[in-house]
Amino acid sequence: MMDDNREWRMTYHCHAIQHPRLDDQGKPVIISKPTIPSAPESWPDPKAVAVFVPDGSEPAAMNGVAFAPWTDHPINDDMWRYVDGQMDDLDEPVMRFDKDRPPASGCVIEEPDGRVWLVSPSNAFGGYTTTYPKGKLDGDQISPQANAIKEAFEESGLKAQITGYLGDFKRGTSITRLYLARRVGGSPSAVGWESQAVCLVPRTMLDQVAAHRNDKEINGLLKASTQGV
């Protein structure tokens, strides 16, 4: 594992802007502190945090996988139920939750260079400046795996393929199952309204970027892992 103790801090514009995508009700989303993207030099650097913003610049490809909007993604739960990228033979435990913490799922999308994709919720929704893409399950309409791929797309713009099971984590308002995944398509610059930035982060810097206490356990597991490095 690479050892990198460099300090890092997200930077922001002073003036609010409108997100280029409308919310689910067709209303504009005003970003009060828009994120400033990182320089292109950060894109291929496995020791750098690369920050992408909606409709911003991005490379044509990274690690052999092109960046291009996922235009034929599912558009309803019936379609998401059968979305490509699920791992049918994955050995995962039965998901347990309680009335105070309903189930949720998400993806830890890994790049071959060892970095991990994170998202910055618009206007730090839920108290998170940057975190892992995830979302609550809506009844039994779709499986945790399908929901994880769906949430990863909505919050990062990326198309994910599940590669493994990371764990179930007790968070503030949910029990969240996180899967390991790899990027097989999509584009961070095409991210939807829920996120104001998408970040590619070295594992050694996860605690600095995904700084919320609810992410500490996840960060620790990923930092201890050598997968993808």
pLDDT of amino acid 138? 79
pLDDT of amino acid 226? 61
Residue numbers of the chain with a pLDDT score lower than 70: 1-6, 139, 226-229
- Residue 50: beta bridge partners? 200
Q: What is the domain class of 37-87+104-224 according to CATH?
A: alpha beta
- Of 83, 94, 225, 223, nearest to 162 by C-alpha is 83
What DSSP element (H or E) covers 156? helix 144-156
Residues 6+ apart with CB under 8 A from 33: 12, 13, 16, 123
Is residue 214 within 8 A of residue 195, CB to CB? The reply is no
Is residue 196 within 8 A of residue 54, CB to CB? The reply is yes
Distance CA 70, CA 159 (A): 7
